[in-house]
Structure 1
């Protein structure tokens, strides 16, 4: 059954709108530091609190099989509204450190009902060509992540409250649009009962375990790279005397990752999701190792290297999601995607805090080398002879 033409564009637009909340705090981190009195450590705190909220949210959603037991579109709507309300809390006149962290935690918690649930909805509509559909969907997530930086880098973003207002309204709009225009998909197979042990049992499936471990390596690198790209641009400006606009360069680096997700999705139709993931991990891992050299290059070469890295670091994400969704029974797709998101984002907190410590105590231009551990780990698992993607049932 071919989905109606509007289905995928609505899912993509809604995913973009709602995930714009993700980096809304990081895009205005300087202003938040002034309001709360925090120092440079706020970079790690602001993003890690979102990631931690997302982890707890995905753990709860996965444990209770929310996306598999209830209408995914309704779950998406409720979470988009609650995430927007948490984001609005950043506009509080007397914003304390704990209000800031709790607001970002709440945003992350409800994003757990947006990002993986959006992928679940796509999987309910697209059996063939899911890798391409997820390429568009994760591309929308990446563009949503970049959007606050673009707002902050324009004259409109001179007032930092505009970033919060814009992303919150976008989230509300995206949630209602998806709920109103995208009903349950034809391939949705809801779980009839709650099975608290279903998630952990999935790791007994070799194909699922292999794809999940590859994804975990990818996540060690991705969010730390995004979080500290503004610092990398600032560091290069200080070393070279160049005047690159930090917000706009950061937004461009992240946004190009959205383009690579789409391109990777199309390539996967011919080359396969696994091959796209392997090449992406290899290129981004090499750039991790070579990153100190980029800071010594002329401005055009630094930009080219960082932009290429921004594309390579994301191109494998939708393909891992495709491999994961293909390796489990239909009634457990939502749980499977949510569970690997939970673990993957827990890993991202460790990498963000690790890089945060390194940049505070050592030369920031060397801090990105540690991220190479992720692609290496991923390649060791996904690079082996691939297990069949056909879904099977856990023991």
Structure 2
């Protein structure tokens, strides 16, 4: 008999994704407080962000190597990852002033996120096989909102110690894991099982369409997480120019990143009529154009620049669910979990040099560091050229 949660599986999955991914940028949400109270520099915050990315890459490779995503129930892996991630994130509170231990716990947090984000995509595919691009748009939109959530939590807790938003993120992750554990796996994927081999996750690279989609996704990744890392720095610059109180920074940072939810959902709606490829190309081109012009526009009034940042936040993530849908449509059906995990691992590996370069050069180059992100959308659009919107896989539906 269908439970109450199973009547609305997509809503439950995206809510759980929101809760689980609040762990991702939990430290960035209190970054200014860490700078004030513990003397963290921009480079230190960048290092902690890079560590989460590295942990996520290690986790996705572990999932692909062991075949966990295809051998065990996705709901069980998701719930276990939420529990372990919540504990690692909460542990940061105790060791924040000891950089080696702090980095270790952020690495563990990133490792656990590999059991949340890719497995969330598999859960969506298992519960809602039709209109995958639209369904994944909600999932990635909630990833975006989860990324922004620590800034909102900090805005609400400005009068409290920085530890409270981090503990709040851990509590949310526990709630997300409980929701998925109760929901269970969807009925539209093969049952768990099979021999685990890393090559299974790489098998889709033999397909020309998948290689093009993966290349576009990799270019998108180069730009995305570096921008999210820089958002509080860019917002702080405009808040200072406005002469506004620093309390505006977390609220505006949340708003700019959270606008990506609207971009994802709007792009998902368009994908049902125009196809995932059409949406992915135009979103990548739009975010690349903002990346190009932003450093040239720093003479504009702060309000206009914040508006331009909002446009960037809207478009920079709108292509992500469409790339995932296109990849799922091209991947071997029995190895969707492993294939998406490998694609995520490579894409997130590319976020590390992008974040490292831009945070290290921020003090020296200011907003000009944004041009280091331009190769991502440019190369991403170039590798997508061979794909045609008439190709059935360009609609992003699963086979």
- Change beyond 3 A, Cα 1:94–1:201: closer
Quote the Cα distance in structure 1 between the aligned partners of 2:242 and 2:8.
48
Deviation at 1:205, TM superposition (A): 1.1
Confirm or deny that 1:148 pairs with 2:150.
yes
Pick from 158, 161, 166 the counterpart of residue 159 of structure 1. 161
Q: Please say which of residues 33-42 and 219-228 is displaced more in the overlay.
A: 33-42
Q: Deviations over 1:94-132 (max 9, x none)?
A: 730011111111000000000000001111122211111
Given candidates 206, 213, 219, the residue that maps to 1:204 is 206
Equivalent residues of 1:143, 1:254 under 8 A apart: yes
User: Of the candidates 71, 74, 84, which is equivalent to residue 72 of structure 1?
Assistant: 74
Match of 1:105 among 94, 104, 107: 107
SS in 1 for 2:316: helix
C-alpha deviation, 1:30, in angstroms: 3.0
Partner of 2:8: 6
CA distance in 2, matches of 1:4, 1:27: 33
1:389 maps onto 2:388 in alignment: no
The alignment partner of 1:190 has SS state of coil
Give the Cα–Cα distance (whole angstroms) in 1 for the partners of residues 138 and 376 of structure 2.
Answer: 24
Cα distance in 2, alignment partners of residues 19 and 48 from structure 1: 16
**Alpha-carbon displacement from aligned partner over 1:252-297 (angstroms, at most 9, x marks no partner):** 0111101111111111000100010000011100001101134211
Bigger shift: residues 219-228 or 195-204: 195-204
Residue ranges of structure 2 left out of the alignment (5+ in a row): none
Give SS of 2:144's match.
Answer: helix
1:214 touches 1:381 (CA, 8 Å); kept in 2? yes
Total equivalences in the alignment: 389
Residue 86 of structure 1: how far off its partner (Å): 0.3
CA displacement at 1:384 relative to structure 2: 2.9
Larger mean CA deviation between 266-275 and 60-69 belongs to 60-69
Give the deviation of 1:226 after TM superposition: 0.5
Say which is worse superposed, 193-202 or 103-112, in terms of deviation. 193-202
Deviates more, 1:151-160 or 1:352-361: 151-160
Deviation at 1:189, TM superposition (A): 4.4
Contact 2:201/2:340 (8 A) holds in 1: no
Does 1:366 pair with 2:368? yes
The yes-or-no answer on 1:357 pairing with 2:360 is yes
Aligned runs of 1:157-196 on 2, under 5 Å?
Answer: 158-196=160-198
Deviation digits for residues 330-388 of structure 1 (CA, Å, limit 9, x no counterpart): 111101111111011110011001111221322x1211122111000110012333365
Q: Which residue of 1 aligns with 2:345?
A: 342
> 1-side partners of 2:50 and 2:387: how far apart?
35
What value does the CA root-mean-square deviation take over the aligned residues?
A: 2.0
Matched, 1:326 2:329: yes
Q: Which runs of 5+ in 1 are unaligned?
A: none
